[in-house]
Amino acid sequence: MIWVAATLIAATAQTARNAAQAGLTTRIGTIGATAVRFVFGLPFALLTLLIAAIWLPVPRPDATVLGYTAIGAAAQIAATAFMLITMRGQSFGVATALMKTEPVTLAIIGAIILAEPLGPARMGAILLATIGVVMASGANWSRASLSPVLTGVTSGALFGLSSIGFRGAILALPEGGFFIRALTVLVLTLALQAAVMLLWMVWRDRAALRGIAEDWRVSVAAGALGAFASLFWFIGFALTPAANVRTLALVEVVMAQILSGRLLRQKANPLQLAGMALIVVGVGWLLAVA
């Protein structure tokens, strides 16, 4: 069950990366803060690949691998844009709940594109955990308007498509173990995303580019954490269907609620407690049938 450990490590590292990026948004803007994870993550991923290449042969990507990688990279950038639009139009709880519908769309897309088995038990576990997230979010749905709901679901679907692209690229590599294949696709992904973000900032947002350079210490930390988290996400994608990885990652919602209760003295209401219980049951069910 290496994918279970990899997913939990990735979720923890991603939380740390988000914390490192949080302050950057107010100082260098949304575009700059988003670009940091790609631009500063690439050198760390590339260095890791060069070191790994001393002992492991690096697989050579073909057109299929590059195609899947491009789909994943582009979908992830677009998903981030829709996520930011949703967060501007709705409360954080509503936006988070909408985007966490990703495992459902991911399972369906994976069955269509990669012919991964869905099955009633696996789909039931994913649905149960996702419903739990919606309940645990504490979102006030009476104030949710249609437009942000659509952008939120679109964001979740695009994040799902990006995960399918990454898994497709990893599976399409002709040789190598799960680690070197995951690392190879990660470097390709970050290279594409860094190039796109740098070109955009040079063309339309040079202030963000200057901000990244001036705040390079925090940017480097966020990039390193981002590359570390992404590597373990990709290891998970190499070993099991992406929907399994993203469903298990929903346990971070439970951990966040526990931390907020202990550190911030915020009490969960009965609906949120029921939602957290559903997440735990859904994830446990998924692990039993995966």
Q: What is the dihedral of CA 11, 14, 16, 21, to 10 degrees?
A: -160
Pairwise CA distance, residues 227 & 201, whole Å: 21
56: helix, strand or coil = coil
119 has a pLDDT exceeding 90? no
Q: What is the pLDDT of residues 213-260, one digit of tens each?
A: 888 888 888 889 889 999 999 999 999 999 899 888 888 777 666 655
- Please determine, for residue 263, whether its predicted confidence score (pLDDT) is greater than 50: no
* 16-30 tens-digit pLDDT: 776 666 667 777 777
Residue 249, pLDDT score: 85
Q: Residue 58: which pLDDT band, with cuts at 50, 70 and 90?
A: very high
User: Measuring CA to CA, which residue among 207, 247, 2 is closest to residue 104?
Assistant: 247
pLDDT over threshold 70, residue 187: yes
- From 234, 184, 202, 232, select the one nearest 35 (Cα to Cα): 202
- Give the residue-averaged pLDDT of 195-201: 93
For 73-82, write each residue's pLDDT tens digit.
999 888 877 8
Stated pTM of the model? 0.87
SS3 52: helix
Compute CA distances 25 → 20, 30, 85, 285, whole Å: 10, 5, 15, 38
